[in-house]
Structure 1
Amino acid sequence: MILRLTLLAALISTSALASPETDRWDKHKAAVTITRDDFGIPHIKGKTDADAVFGMIYAQAEDDFNRVETNFINAQGRLAETEGESAIWRDLRMKLFIDPAELKAQYVASPAWLKSLCTAWADALNAYLASHSAVKPRVITRFEPWMALSFSEGSIGGDIESINLGKLESFYTGQAVKLTAVELGSELLEPAGSNGMALAPSRSTSGDALLLINPHTSFYFRSEAKVESGQGLDAYGASTWGQFFVYQGFNRNTGWMHTSSGVDNIDEFALTVEKKGGKYHYLHGTNWRPLAEKSITVPYRAADGSMKSRSFTTWRSHHGPVIRAENGKWIAVALMHRPVAALEQSFLRTKTTDLASYLKVATRRANSSNATLFASSKGEIAYLHPQFVPIRDAKFDWRKPVDGSDPATDWQGEHSLDQLPSVMNPGSGFAFNVNNWPWTAAGPDSPKQAAFAKYMDAAGENPRGPNALRLLSGDRKFDLSALLTTAYDPFLQGFADTIPPLVKAWDALADGPQKVRLAAPVAALKAWDYRASETSIPTSLAMLWGDDMVKRFGPVAKLDEEAIVPYLASAKVPDAERLAALDAAVGKLAGDFGGWDVPWGHINRFQRLTANINQSYDDKLPSTPIGFASGNWGSLASFGARQREGTKRWYGDYGNSFVAVVRFGKDGPEARAVHAGGLSSNPASPHFRDQAERYRTHDFRKVYFTDAQLQGHVEKMYRPGE
């Protein structure tokens, strides 16, 4: 009897598993191989693009399912379901734009080829969970194809995340806005962005185009993989966890590096609002239009573990949703939200063969926040401006909310690609962007600022810009090693601008205790060449001095709408304050490290202890010295570090993450790369921090792009689920 029941249970179980879904899983598994190289990096091969997507996402889940799920929890506005009430406002912000019903409808209407990729994406994650019962999702227990459309662009902070959470909360609660130290200006975050450089054959020792891929992100934000299919996919590079396209990387013929742009294409509109007949209306011209109302419910996990929810009535104008109130007006925001087009563009550009095909993909104009540095095996190079730029009346200052009741402020369509400040195949032989303006992107062949509307750039210059331009100008020729050296050039332009006024202030100081106390530190700064290194004592002095100066003058500079470095270099800063900040820095160095003459590498450290998204740090545990510094002060190689809870040393968690240099040879690409720490999130894996020393010394590993290059470097080969 027991045997019969056991057999019956087995038959029922088999029948339950047999389904169109599991049939798809099995077909994908049979058509996919995953080869892990000696750094644990997956090389995925599939018969079709959908097979390759299945293998790519399955491998990502193996390496860090938590980050995959978390990205899509956040993208769908479901963080509060796991992180509690504090995440309600982040979720509400996402839900103002992300509506599952709308995404499902867009998925159904999307092209068949894209639907097949979205289905393979969901299949991979569901198959992974089915075969890894020990992995417990925090929120999403089943992935559906439409979900891929909720996070389709790849940036570390999308356009939606530009909306201020404190002001959104204030609008719905009536409580005063709680500004953070960063919002006040008294603390600098590491600049969100990246570096990209493209060199033409005329500037290359080999006669081939070269490309620097240097994203600045939070560490471990992206995976790394080679993805190949029988339908022409053949790409290598970094993919944001959970996304099925190589976001920053290269294929056999083209390479693409995205940098956060200063283009002004997110606009705010001040609405004149009145309640009429029990409903809110807003003035547009001489007409009162009804604000569209929508109730949004945000579930959240309460402190006792139970699930609760809060509901909000939200309003939307023809410009976009209302996100805050200001000076008696309601503020609506307009930004790009094209999930299908963005996902199409993100995937299709990985299969381009030259600049013309890349530009054809870009005609979807669904890349809003990123400039692109491009290079190809044909020797083409380019700086490409973000493709989504609304046409607006130039008489308005679009950096601030405009009058939404004035029809003249309405968007008037979009600029075509040939109306953007891009540059292709410049005579200078180089193109670059380091999150600065485009007006120096190709030296003398750059776009001319006077020819374009002011809203084409709102970022202006930054300390990295002049440094990069200095390094690339002239007629010097580069190979991969020289490009790598350039990418890590240690010159800190921000301190070259701000330290001389400090030295001058000390020179003018009357004899006395402060003059004596600061004599040796100032002498060290006087002799400094403004280059960071592990052994540099002046770098330590400058970094702590700069940190103190930001606390003193950051809020004032922010109110004056001035960039912090030019402000600190200006005569607006009293000499006494410059010297007081140096006194404070010297005192802090002595208090934390026993003296002011501390090498930068003793303070500035890389440490990876856990698989947690939010890392913990400990001065008593092993860490690695890092010689480069913050991009805020002009370091091209960015390492955003600060003291953590309970530490005296500064630990980095943002900046250089995945970095690569590529040569587009006629016989295929040659590339070198490094990944912060290592690819795996498992502390027990040999690939958890096997690249930490390479990250420190810039000893990039060779990228195995072809089967021949991979030969002899295989750790294991398997099919998903094996």
Structure 2
Amino acid sequence: MTVGSMRIRAGIAVLLASASVAAAFPAQAAPGTDATITRTRFGIPHIKAKTFAGLGYGAAYAQAQDNICLLADAYMSVAGERSRFFGPDGAATIGVWPGKNIDNDVFYRTVLDDAALTAGFRRLAPDSRAVIDGWVAGYNRFLKDRAGRLPAACANQPWVRDITRLDVLRWANAFQLFASSAGLSVQIAQTRPPGTEPAKAAPATGAVASGEIMLGSNGWAFGGDATANGRGLVVGNPHFPWIGPNRFYQMHMTIAGKFDVAGAGIMGQPYIGIGFNKDVAWTHTVDTAVHMTLARLTLDPADPTVYLVDGKRMPMIRRQLSIPVKDGAPIVRTVYASRHGPIVSIPGTPYAWTRETAWAVRDANHNNMRAADNYLAFGRARTVDDLRAALTQHMGSGFINTIAADRGGASMFADITPAPNLSAERFAECGKRGDKLPNLYSRMYELDGSRSSCDWASDSAAPAPGLLPGREMVVQLRRDYVQNSNDSYRWTNPALPPVERAPMLGTDPGPLPDMRTRSGVQAIRAMLAAGKVDIDRGAAAMLSNKVFVADLVLGDLLQLCKRSGAPADACAALAKWDGKMEVDSRGGMLFSAFWMRVTNSGRNIWKTPFDPKDIVGTPASLDITGAAGDALLADLTAAAGLFKLLGVPLDAPLGQIQFAERGAERIPVSGGAWGGVLNWMGGLPTKGGFNVIHGSSYIQSVTFDDKGPVAKSILTYSQSSDPASPHHADQTREFAKKQLHRFPFTDAEIAADAIGQPLKLGK
């Protein structure tokens, strides 16, 4: 979701490991936790209960049935206990960011504030508190029912244990930090004062080929003027991990006459994050708003752990952490914090801790417990205006745009998320846009930490101190369409007049639209030119696998291939390419590797410059003259060399070399990572090709008829992470055929599609 969106943009190769969360106090009983789980095709659970505690109870039980090992790993990890069970030097993934177990443990023990999370829980509405406590009871009930019979991946492991409310709260807040301070997790964990033990070098970025990690998604919403039935239509395609606990999980949650919502949520979270009810549908993409700032601290010349604010000395807060370690003595780390947040040091960059300067991270999602209220309100919504009101009141969608439509035919784009309350005037006086570092989602936003007048401003209309209130953020309502592919709100719909918001709401002034944005707008225009959009045409366009940039540059590249010294085998493969990333396309993966190198070079490659009046058509045409052409040929030669090194034919059908490994089975996967492919896919190199680990995840196309929602969906990697489950690969095989399936919503539809007998849970 983004969740989005969200994506790791790693070109051909992306490195990602599993990730994590854990326990603290005795399990608490939840009243009214009776629930019934009916499974339909692909193992989708439809949970019915009489109370919200019952919904949480049933949802946790169902998720544990399919993914207990991932959930247990997640709860253990955010408790900061990976070193205890796996040793300090093992690989960990913190959000989507690579590090070691000890980095994971220090980071989460530093940034997760148990007392503040508990206080945030107490401020939630009663229904939200009930669904969380019901979740705890349902998870623990599953462990009791399956004692001694867990999947092989976690059978008899000491880190699989009963959870408490605090485990769920930690995991929920850890996810909110996904696109902000989690990207600095290793640097926070390894920070030392100058003159002491030098900080360890940060590990290599997760993007093996590109050196860059990105998060993302695509979301389209069509209003009644653009649809065949005159009602709203949402097409969502978040790009998210295929491995680890940050996977989506499909489910349907119902309290008769009170609450009825379906779709998918991030595992370990007891609510629907992307989905629909009978009147409104929504999806998410990762936004461009700023969710953290770095305060530049001016230090006391006599002591680098003392900083100055308005001329007054302020000692840093020191906290000593003792991290339990498997088969060894505890590791003791001292962490430092300022009034803004934890100290971070990034050696070799302007953000190193020196004798003169230190840097502190303030994260707008720190202690954000509002997602439960936010998404239960979404489940009750009847119009897109209801969604806007929920976002404004709760700001529980931590780093994601909301793209939505309702049965009345309204469509909406909204970026209402926790962002620093810094006006353009205050930021101009106190801050600047800093560097974009390879292992971070966005560039740094710096503030002068020596002046209290440069702090985030407070506004009583915001749900927490220092946040920009919803009225200052972006909402765009249309009867034709809105779209987003992780770009600025400026490009939501080219028909909208230009608008500028506070600097915390967008990217740098004048950025070019991303290739996926251009691709999406082109696809939408083509659909509308051919007639009104419906549920099937919308999904087909989202999964068309067209490489947008190929139309702009392939002809120029083939012309360049006539030059003496051009790599003949690579040029021959591209000459046969159809410009798509379908499973039977030949040469597309080679082009993707080439375009990744060109993009990462930072060179100006275009003959026709960007024209803001033509965001689809410009910039365009490669400059293939002289040295510019030589550089392009060098990129193509290097891309071909990578494939030869891996033993992968340059013109092999995509489905033969890009796949999802399920045991001995290799399921072909379409889509690509570069050049504006909407069906985004990233994979790790393996013998004979690339194993997909990130990309298109929970895909839905939703509209409405007179009775309720009409939804088609697919969970690309399937419901269960357990290889022994019948739902470990069933939807993945369907995705290989680009097949979405009707999501049963009414009682009659569920009964007709049911597999097995309903499971009745109670005390």
Deviation at 1:581, TM superposition (A): 3.2
Distance verdict in 2 for CA 1:358–1:547, change over 3 Å: closer
Distance verdict in 2 for CA 1:155–1:661, change over 3 Å: farther
Q: Whose radius of gyration is greater, 1 or 2?
A: 1
Matched, 1:210 2:210: no
Matches within 5 A, 1:638-677: 638-644=680-686, 647-677=687-717
**Aligned match for 2:537, one of 474, 478, 482:** 482
Identity %: 20
Distance 1:686 1:494 in 2: 39
Aligned to 2:259: 233
Deviation at 1:190, TM superposition (A): 6.8
Distance 1:217 1:573 in 2: 38
Distance verdict in 2 for CA 1:412–1:353, change over 3 Å: same
Deviation at 1:485, TM superposition (A): 1.0
Matched, 1:223 2:249: yes
Q: Give the TM-score of the pair, scaled to structure 1.
A: 0.84
Contact 2:205 2:213 survives alignment (8 Å): no
Matches within 5 A, 1:471-510: 471-473=523-525, 474=528, 476-497=531-552, 499=554, 502-507=557-562, 509-510=563-564
Distance 1:677 1:70 in 2: 19
Aligned to 2:672: 629
**Aligned match for 2:745, one of 705, 716, 722:** 705
Distance 2:468 2:732 in 1: 44
Aligned to 2:420: 390
Aligned to 2:474: 421
Matches within 5 A, 1:265-280: 265-274=291-300, 280=305
For structure 1, the 5+ residue unaligned runs are 1-19, 558-564, 610-620
Matches within 5 A, 1:319-718: 319-324=340-345, 326=352, 328=354, 329-336=357-364, 337-362=366-391, 363-392=393-422, 393-395=426-428, 396-398=431-433, 399-413=444-458, 414-424=467-477, 426-427=478-479, 429-445=480-496, 448-449=498-499, 451-458=500-507, 460=511, 461-473=513-525, 474=528, 476-497=531-552, 499=554, 502-507=557-562, 509-510=563-564, 514-515=565-566, 518=568, 521-522=570-571, 525=574, 528=577, 530-546=579-595, 553=601, 574-589=628-643, 595-609=649-663, 621-630=664-673, 632-644=674-686, 647-716=687-756, 717-718=758-759
Q: Secondary structure at the match of 2:263?
A: strand
Distance 1:664 1:691 in 2: 24
Distance verdict in 2 for CA 1:603–1:104, change over 3 Å: same
Contact 1:190 1:640 survives alignment (8 Å): no
Matched, 1:126 2:115: no
Alignment deviations for residues 45-69 of structure 1 (CA, whole Å, 9 cap, x no partner): 0011111110011111111111222
Aligned to 2:615: none
Q: Secondary structure at the match of 2:652?
A: coil
Distance 2:621 2:189 in 1: 32
Deviation at 1:217, TM superposition (A): 0.8
Q: Secondary structure at the match of 2:700?
A: strand
**Aligned match for 2:287, one of 243, 246, 261:** 261
Contact 2:722 2:728 survives alignment (8 Å): yes
Deviation at 1:168, TM superposition (A): 4.1
Alignment deviations for residues 284-320 of structure 1 (CA, whole Å, 9 cap, x no partner): 222222322323333232xxxx364223332222221
Q: Give the TM-score of the pair, scaled to structure 2.
A: 0.80
Deviation at 1:163, TM superposition (A): 1.4
Alignment deviations for residues 242-279 of structure 1 (CA, whole Å, 9 cap, x no partner): 11001111112222211111112311111122377x89
**Aligned match for 2:320, one of 295, 312, 316:** 295
Contact 2:583 2:653 survives alignment (8 Å): yes
AA partner of residue 330 (structure 1): A
Deviation at 1:673, TM superposition (A): 0.9
Distance verdict in 2 for CA 1:119–1:384, change over 3 Å: same
Q: Secondary structure at the match of 2:495?
A: helix
Deviation at 1:22, TM superposition (A): 9.1
Aligned to 1:13: none
Give the structure with the higher percent helix. Answer: 1
Once the two structures are overlaid, the 10-residue window that deviates more, 390-399 or 566-575, is 566-575
**Aligned match for 2:102, one of 83, 88, 105:** 88
Deviation at 1:416, TM superposition (A): 2.5
Distance 2:177 2:323 in 1: 23
Q: Secondary structure at the match of 2:432?
A: coil
Aligned to 1:200: 223
Distance 2:490 2:597 in 1: 32
Deviation at 1:499, TM superposition (A): 4.4
Distance verdict in 2 for CA 1:181–1:712, change over 3 Å: closer
Once the two structures are overlaid, the 10-residue window that deviates more, 239-248 or 160-169, is 160-169
Contact 2:295 2:447 survives alignment (8 Å): yes
**Aligned match for 2:162, one of 121, 137, 142:** 142
Alignment deviations for residues 684-715 of structure 1 (CA, whole Å, 9 cap, x no partner): 33222112221011111111111111122211
Number of aligned positions between the proteins = 662
Matched, 1:248 2:274: yes
Q: Secondary structure at the match of 1:349?
A: helix
Distance 1:133 1:636 in 2: 43
Q: Secondary structure at the match of 1:121?
A: helix
